Structure 1
Amino acid sequence: MAAAISAKSLTKEFGRREVLHGVDFEVETGSVFGVIGPNGAGKTTTMRCLLDIIRPTSGTIRVLGTDPRAGGPELRRRIGYLPGELFLAGRVTGRTLLAHYEAISGPVPPGRVDQLAERLGLDLTRHIRKLSKGNKQKLGLVQAFMHQPELLVLDEPTSGLDPLVQQEFHAMVREAKHRGQTIFLSSHVLSEVQQTADTVAILRDGRIIAVESVSALREGAVRRVRFTTSGIAAHDAVARLTGVPGVGHVEVLESDGTATLSATIGGDIQPLVRMLASLRLTDLVLEEPDLEEAVLTMYAAPQEEPR
């Protein structure tokens, strides 16, 4: 099956400043692809190039099998787009605005708009100028999802949404994927992407520094373990723990009759489990992998100089 999106050697210059430096990635049809990066990393620029809002300086792009520069209105109707900086006209109601977008994007299933509005807690009878930032974001989401496009391109989609609405949005993304739609979304917060994405690209200073599955990120991320054991001296427990591959930063929290130790561990946890099985444990806490820390480590790693 052909990729829903393909970008090769993508560069973009604004005057003398190059903001994308040879970006390469592919998005599988029917998958959720997340792009993570700090503000200014190039996420929005990449999305705008994909949609032919701006044109790349060099490189090639294919979106749903078509060069976006030649796709025209026919290609755009197959895409739902939520921009990062959402500007909506203010003198009409939400329902009127969505009717306008429906005339542009194509048919919307009967009742679909009301269903989405109800799920997101959006009042479509209110004038847009009276809506809060969060409610405008909900309106933007309804606009993007309502015609069930083949491809959804969502730039910082949870911006301004409260936690309950964010969870509803994640459910909408999962349902879209189940229907075979492809979702390309961006965020500067990993936790927003890891709930729904199959693959994550990490963008820094206009370069993709890693493309990983969420499961691979979890496997490579650092966990924290804390346990209390009896019948063994603290220094002996430390010696056993430091002998486990991937263990680092061991700390003795308590050593009066029992030994309480804390440590970080990366990679495979089976050696740790085997070591812990040899101890008489009275307490054990193994935390979820810290994906944020894994990504921040990638941000902090020095980049190779271009050749």
Structure 2
Amino acid sequence: MNAPSPASAIRFQSVIKRYRKTTAVDQVSFDVPSGVVFALLGDNGAGKTTSIKAMLGTVRIDGGSIRVLGCDPVADSVALRHRIGIVPEQPSLYDWMTVDETGWFAAGFHAEGFLARYRESIRRFGIAPGKRIRELSKGMKAKVALSLATAHEPELLILDEPTSGLDPMVRREFLESMIERAATGQTVFLSSHQINEVERVADHVALMKQGRLVHCESLESLKRNTRELLVNVTDTGVPSPLGGDNVISANRTGRQWRLLVRDVTDSQIAEIENSEFVDRCSVNEPSLEEIFVGYIGESMSTDDGMPQPRPQSDDQPLAPEVSS
């Protein structure tokens, strides 16, 4: 088996997966650094679950390459699964078993110590070991699934929409436990569309739309370099006050433009504020959800998957184009 990569827990390189005439994953490339919480965000049908199945080796890709902990997920699938933990959106548990019997059964596939760690996790979650799985709420079942996925102390934990359908308090507790795991050196790969929750726990985010990767960056860098500009112009006929590749999205309501931009300098903002066509310009720090909507909901993708501003007018912008 190949040696694990010290830098990347997961590496996608130009990955393609097709289902007949549908391309579910289209030329996707990204790296997941070791020891972080990495969130893959996208609407339903974006390609998140297919990407997870590909990294687990349960579907074979049609192009590109994938490495998980330095290994080929198909050729090294058996050995690799002893190093990773998985919590699917709908965990498959034997509902006639008790909570403790479930751990005892799973322990047969793992090294010594699994059952003791599983029982400790169940105790911390406050789940009665004698309860049958069918008697548990969805939140409790999710905690059983998490206990099973982590009792063998995996290097990588993969979660596919793990908080779907859970009540707010359980979701919060579930996600905060991911921060604790990353702090111990584990890597957490989280697929979700619960953007506000992800913002509290993720170190890195990747945005997918219709099978394509739109953007991938550390959350700190993404928020630091992205700004929302609210620009009131003097007339409804005035075009967008900023142009260039650094405009993520641009929308107008009456005389106000709402621009989501990247890497815009203070001097460029000052140019807009001092323009004869501008009454007022305010600068805000957008939330991850607002950034997500800018990239996914209101942008177009070019052939290389990079977002471009939605066309607004054939007129020239008020301020010079922003160069990258």
- TM bucket by the smaller chain? 0.7 to 0.9
Q: Distance in 2 between matches of 1:85 and 1:265?
A: 36
Question: Which moves more between the two structures, 103-112 or 182-191?
Answer: 103-112
Rounded to whole Å, the distance in 1 between the matches of 2:15 and 2:8 is: 16
* Secondary structure at 1:195 match in 2: helix
Q: Report the more deviating stretch, 3-12 or 133-142.
A: 133-142
CA distance in structure 2 between the aligned counterparts of 1:39 and 1:265, rounded to whole angstroms: 24
**Does residue 98 in structure 1 map to residue 103 in structure 2?**
yes
Q: Deviations over 1:97-138 (max 9, x none)?
A: 122222224344674323322443433321112222222212
Which residue matches 2:218? 213
Tell me the equivalent position of 1:277.
none
- Match in the other structure for 1:159: 164
Deviates more, 1:39-48 or 1:174-183: 174-183
Q: Give the match for residue 128 of structure 1.
A: 133
- The 3 A distance-change label for structure 1 pair 287 and 210 is closer
**Partner residue, 1:68:** 73
State the partner residue of 1:301.
Answer: 299
CA distance in 2, matches of 1:105, 1:198: 30
3-state SS of 2:57 partner: coil
Q: Does 1:203 align with 2:208?
A: yes
The 3 A distance-change label for structure 1 pair 40 and 249 is: closer
Q: CA deviation digits over 1:206-244, x for unaligned, max 9?
A: 11100021112322445699xxxxxxxxx9xxxxxx9xx
Alignment-mate amino acid for residue 35 of structure 2: G
Point out where structure 2 has 5 or more consecutive residues left out of the alignment: 1-5, 235-240, 242-246, 270-282, 306-324
AA of the residue aligned to 2:39: G
| Cα distance in 2 between the residues matched to 1:164 and 1:83 | 20
Matched-pair identity in %: 36
Tell me: CA distance 1:53–1:265, structure 2 relative to 1, closer, same or farther (3 Å).
Answer: closer
| Residues 191, 292 of structure 1: 8 Å contact kept | yes
Q: TM-score, normalised by structure 1?
A: 0.76
Change (3 A) 1:188 1:175: same
In the TM superposition, what is the alpha-carbon distance from 1:44 to its structure 2 partner? 0.6
Taking the aligned partners of 1:141 and 1:196, their CA distance within structure 2 comes to: 17
**Which string of whole-angstrom CA distances, capped at 9 and with x for unpartnered residues, describes residues 16-44 of structure 1?**
22111111111111121110000111101
For residues 109 and 123 of structure 1, what CA distance do their matches in structure 2 show?
Answer: 18
The question of 1:40 aligning with 2:37 is answered: no
1:5 corresponding residue in structure 2: 10
Preserved CA contact (<8 Å) 2:139 2:170 = no
Q: Taking structure 1 as reference, are residues 266 and 140 closer, same or farther at Cα in structure 2, changes over 3 Å only?
A: same
**Distance change >3 Å, CA 212–CA 72, structure 1 → 2:** closer
Residues 1:189 and 2:194 aligned together: yes
Counterparts of 2:169 and 2:113 in 1: how far apart (Å)?
Answer: 26
2: CA distance, partners of 1:119 / 1:45: 33
2:76 partner SS: helix
Gap change, CA 1:290 and 1:249, over 3 Å in 2: farther
Aligned residue pairs: how many?
Answer: 271
Q: Counterpart of 1:147 in 2: which secondary structure?
A: coil
**Structure 1 segments unaligned to the other structure (5+ residues):** 226-234, 236-241, 252-262, 273-285
